[in-house]
């Protein structure tokens, strides 16, 4: 499978009244064509800002270090996303090669414009379709994502749709421009379980059909297990473990990932209380020295955890973890 996007040493800070805060630090990963990559981590770990970085879409107070590289591999060659300045170049990335389903359910649609009108506008911006073609393509996309009566729905407003329908309409809009990469930021959190399952099935079909890559953002490892091929686990702006989903879920190596898995409800042990990871993720203003997880870790191996950043080591040919438990050869 060929690479779609490569992220190298991404470090992203925000200028705030309290000073410079680090939201993402030295994060590297790639997404390949036909692959669904899960990005997981608790609230505030930096998932959404990482996703927005891929489209160079963060707020104006964002600062990227010069080492940060985001390379989008297109048929026309490689595009260095963070160096894009011109609106025309940005257009290639935003809503063109990359589409994003935003976390805020209503944010993707303007409330006072019908769904169809918005889809048509976006299509006309990113393709040379006529208005008529764009409208019929929009109806076709609504139909593809399982919206019944698409001819009628296309003229409705976002608030007239149920949560699940709205989510599907967002997916239809995000896919209508035929992106290479779809970023879905918590697309199923607001949905009930059956609709969630439908949306997940739909995404699987789409990857196969369009040979696209998907980044699926969630804080739910259970959803990742069902949805993704590969997973990257974030904590306080750092990528602490990554590997194929089955491998990471079956044999999590980082104490944080182990904690996330222990916190999942298990159907055969419903009487047992859930065991959440104790404590809260620290504020980015109070990033711990050493390993970022050291304030909550139950497997501290020594002062090294408090003082030194763990190196990212390979514990298996395709499984990497950043934790002092493992030596450079990846042995515990
Ligand atoms: N424009 C901004 N200015 C300052 N800080 C910001 C800005 N945008 C995001 N942050 C901070 O960056 C950190 C990471 O935020 P992000 O939204 O990526 O978290 P997340 O992992 O997506 O969490 P959630 O699961 O709640 O969506 C947070 O501490 C957030 O407050
Ligand atoms: Mg988020």
Q: What does DSSP assign to residue 268?
A: G
Confirm whether 208 is domain-assigned.
yes
Confirm whether 73 is domain-assigned.
yes
The residue contributing the CA closest to ligand 1 atom 9 is: 49
The pairs formed by 78-87 with CB atoms below 8 angstroms and a separation of 24 or more are 81/53, 81/54, 81/55, 81/56, 82/53, 82/56, 84/56
Domain identity same for 271 and 187: no
The domain boundary, picked from 213, 243, 273, lies at 243
Domain identity same for 229 and 298: no
CA distances from 308 to 54, 62, 232, 284, 312 (A): 29, 26, 22, 18, 12
Range of the domain at 136: 3-243
Three-state secondary structure of 76-121: CEEEEHHHCCCHHHHHHHECCCEEEECCCCCCCCCCCCCHHHHHHH
Residue 241 CB coordination number (10 Å): 26
How many A from CA of 64 to the centre of ligand 1? Answer: 15
The domain boundary, picked from 193, 216, 243, lies at 243
Atom of ligand 1 lying closest to residue 284 CA: 29
Confirm whether 92 is domain-assigned.
yes
Domain identity same for 144 and 207: yes
pLDDT at 83: 92
Confirm whether 332 is domain-assigned.
no
pLDDT by position in tens, the chain (length 332): 689 999 999 999 999 999 999 999 999 999 999 999 999 999 999 999 999 999 998 999 999 999 999 999 988 889 999 998 888 888 888 878 899 887 765 667 888 999 999 999 999 988 899 999 999 999 999 988 888 999 999 999 999 988 778 888 888 898 888 899 999 988 776 666 776 777 778 778 878 888 899 999 998 888 898 889 999 999 999 999 999 999 999 999 999 999 999 888 777 777 777 778 889 999 988 999 999 999 999 999 999 999 999 999 999 989 999 999 999 888 88
Q: Whose CA is closest to 309, among 24, 68, 25?
A: 25
Domain identity same for 94 and 219: yes
Which residues on adjacent β-strands are paired with residue 105?
Answer: none
Atom of ligand 1 lying closest to residue 58 CA: 1
Confirm whether 90 is domain-assigned.
yes
pLDDT at 263: 85
20 CB near ligand 1 (under 6 Å): no
Domain identity same for 28 and 157: yes
Domain identity same for 40 and 120: yes
Atom of ligand 1 lying closest to residue 41 CA: 21
Q: What is the DSSP string of 19-68?
A: EEEEEEEEEEEEEETT-EEEEE-STTSSHHHHHHHTTT---TTEEE-TT-
Domain identity same for 190 and 274: no
End-to-end CA distance of the chain: 31
Q: What is the pTM of this model?
A: 0.91
46 CB near ligand 1 (under 6 Å): yes
Per the structure, the count of domains in the chain is 2
238 CB near ligand 1 (under 6 Å): no
61 CB near ligand 1 (under 6 Å): yes
Confirm whether 288 is domain-assigned.
yes
Domain identity same for 37 and 131: yes
pLDDT at 187: 76
Q: Is 145 helix (H, G, I), strand (E, B) or coil?
A: coil
d(CA 144, CA 146): 5
d(CA 204, CA 182): 12
Confirm whether 261 is domain-assigned.
yes
Domain identity same for 150 and 100: yes
Confirm whether 286 is domain-assigned.
yes
How many A from CA of 136 to the centre of ligand 2? Answer: 33
The domain boundary, picked from 211, 243, 275, lies at 243
CATH of the domain at 116: 3.40.50.300
Domain identity same for 272 and 219: no
pLDDT at 192: 67
Domain identity same for 23 and 49: yes
Domain identity same for 75 and 215: yes
């Amino acid at each position: 499978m060929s690479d779609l996007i490569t992220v190298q040493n991404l470090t992203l800070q925000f200028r705030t009244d309290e000073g410079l805060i680090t939201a993402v630090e030295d994060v590297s990963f790639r997404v390949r064509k036909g692959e669904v990559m899960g990005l997981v981590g608790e609230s505030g770990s930096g998932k959404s800002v990482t996703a927005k970085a891929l489209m160079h879409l963060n707020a104006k107070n964002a600062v990227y270090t010069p080492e940060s590289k985001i390379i989008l591999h297109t048929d026309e060659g490689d595009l260095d996303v963070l160096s894009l300045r011109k609106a025309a170049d940005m257009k290639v990335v935003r809503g063109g090669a990359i589409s994003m389903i935003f976390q805020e359910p209503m944010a993707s649609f303007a409330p006072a414009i019908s769904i169809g009108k918005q889809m048509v506008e976006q299509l006309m911006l990113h393709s040379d379709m006529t208005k008529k073609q764009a409208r019929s393509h929009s109806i076709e996309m609504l139909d593809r994502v399982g919206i019944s009566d698409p001819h009628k729905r296309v003229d409705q407003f976002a608030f007239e749709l149920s949560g699940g329908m709205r989510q599907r309409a967002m997916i239809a809009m995000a896919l209508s421009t035929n992106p290479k990469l779809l970023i879905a930021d918590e697309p199923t959190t607001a949905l009930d379980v059956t609709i969630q399952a439908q949306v997940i099935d739909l995404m699987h079909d789409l990857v196969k059909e369009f040979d696209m890559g998907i980044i699926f953002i969630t804080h739910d490892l259970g959803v990742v297990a069902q949805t993704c091929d590969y997973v990257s686990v974030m904590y306080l702006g750092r990528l602490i473990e990554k590997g194929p989903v089955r491998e990471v879920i079956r044999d999590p190596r980082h104490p944080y990932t182990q904690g996330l898995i222990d916190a999942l409800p298990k159907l055969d042990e419903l009487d047992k209380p859930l065991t959440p990871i104790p404590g809260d993720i620290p504020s980015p203003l109070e990033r711990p020295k050493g390993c970022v997880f050291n304030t909550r870790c139950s497997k501290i191996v020594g002062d090294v955890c408090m003082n030194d950043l763990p190196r990212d080591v390979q514990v298996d040919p395709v499984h990497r973890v950043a934790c002092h438990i493992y030596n450079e050869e990846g042995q515990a």
